[in-house]
Structure 1
Amino acid sequence: MKQDVLSLIEQNYPSLSPSARTIANYLQQHPLAIVSQTSAEIAEQTHTSKATVSRFFRQLGFESQQDAKQAQLQLRQSGVPVLTQGNEIDQTEEELSNLSLTFEGLRTDVLEEVGTQLAQASRVTLIGFRNSYPVALHFRQQLQQIRPSVRLLPQPGQTLGEDLHDILDDEVIVLFGFRRRTRIFKKIVEALEGRNTILITDPTGQVYNQQVSQVLVCHLGNNNPFYSYAAPMSLVSMLCNRVYAQIGENAQHRTQSISKLYTDLDEMEA
Structure 2
Amino acid sequence: MADNNGVLARIRDKYTDLSPSARAIANYLQQFPLTIISDSTAEIAAKTNTSKATVSRLFRQLGYASHQDAKQDVVLQRDAGIPVKQTLTQHDYIAAELGNLQRTLESIPAEEINQIAAILAKAPRITLIGYRNSYPVALHCRQQLKQIRPNVRLLPQPGQSLSEDLMDLAEDEIIVVFGFRRRPRIFARMMDALPPERTILLTDPTGQVYQDKVDHTLVCQLGNQFAFDSYAAPMSLVSVLCNQAYTLLGDEGDSRVSTITQMYAQMGELDPE
Give the structure 2 partner of residue 211 of structure 1. Answer: 213
Following superposition, the deviation at residue 239 of structure 1 comes to: 1.3
Query: Hey, what does 2:69 align to over in structure 1?
Result: 67
Q: Cα deviations across residues 15-44 of structure 1 (Å, max 9, x unaligned)?
A: 434443333223224434422333344445
CA shift in 2, pair 1:205/1:262, >3 Å: same
5 Å-filtered alignment, 1:250-269, equals 250-269=252-271
SS at match of 2:108: coil
- For the residues of structure 2 that align with 1:25 and 1:224, how far apart are their CA atoms? 19
1:95 offset after TM fit, Å? 2.4
Counterpart in the other structure of 1:174: 176
* TM-score normalised according to structure 2 size: 0.89
The question of whether the paired residues in 2 share the 8 Å contact of 1:35 and 1:84 is answered with no
Separation in 2, partners of 1:46, 1:92: 28
What is the match of residue 142 of structure 1? 144
* Bigger mean CA deviation after superposition, 104-113 or 148-157: 104-113
Residues 157 and 60 of structure 1: CA distance in aligned 2, closer, same or farther (over 3 Å):
same
What is the letter of the counterpart of residue 65 of structure 1?
H
Q: Does 1:236 align with 2:238?
A: yes
SS of equivalent to 1:116: helix
CA separation in 2, counterparts of 1:23 and 1:223?
21
Structure 2 Cα separation of the partners of residues 160 and 91 of structure 1: 37
Contact 2:22 2:54 in 1 (8 A): yes
Work out whether residues 32 and 86 of structure 1, in 8 Å CA contact, stay in contact via their aligned partners in 2: no
Write out aligned runs for 1:190-209 (5 A).
Answer: 190-209=192-211
| Inter-CA distance 31–217: structure 2 relative to 1 (3 Å threshold) | closer
Moved more, 28-37 or 159-168: 28-37
What is the aligned length?
270
User: Please, which runs of 5 or more residues in structure 1 have no aligned partner?
Assistant: none
SS in structure 2 of the partner of residue 167 of structure 1: coil
User: Could you tell me how far 1:89 is from its partner in structure 2?
Assistant: 4.6
Deviation at 1:122, TM superposition (A): 1.9
Q: Greater shift after overlay, 241-250 or 13-22?
A: 13-22
Instruction: Give the superposition deviation at 1:190.
Output: 1.0
Residue 183, structure 1, aligned to residue 185, structure 2: yes
Native 8 Å contact 1:73 1:84 kept in 2: no
**Structure-1 separation of matches of 2:247 and 2:46:** 62
Residues 166, 268 of structure 1: alpha-carbon distance in 2 compared, 3 angstrom cutoff: same
Structure 2 CA distance for aligned equivalents of residues 115 and 43 of structure 1: 53
CA distance in 1, matches of 2:49, 2:246: 64
The Cα shift of 1:143 comes to 0.6
Deviation of residue 156 (structure 1)?
Answer: 0.7
Distance 1:196 1:36 in 2: 42
* Residues 120, 53 of structure 1: alpha-carbon distance in 2 compared, 3 angstrom cutoff: same
Equivalent residue for 1:98? Answer: 100
Contact preservation (8 Å) 2:31, 2:86: no
SS for the counterpart of 2:105 is helix
143-152 or 14-23, larger mean C-alpha shift:
14-23
Distance 1:146 1:49, change over 3 A: closer
Output one character per residue of 1:216-268: Cα deviation in whole Å (capped at 9) or x when no partner.
11222232332222221111111112221222222222122212221221111
Contact 2:31 2:85 in 1 (8 A): no
- Given residue 269 of structure 1, which amino acid in structure 2 is its aligned partner? D
Per mean C-alpha deviation after superposition, the further-off stretch among 139-148 and 51-60 is: 51-60
Residue 110 of structure 2, aligned match among 108, 111, 128 = 108
What are the Cα deviations for residues 142-181 of structure 1, in whole angstroms up to 9, with x where unaligned? 1111111111111111001111111111101000111222
Query: Does the CA contact (< 8 Å) of 2:32 and 2:86 recur in 1?
Result: no
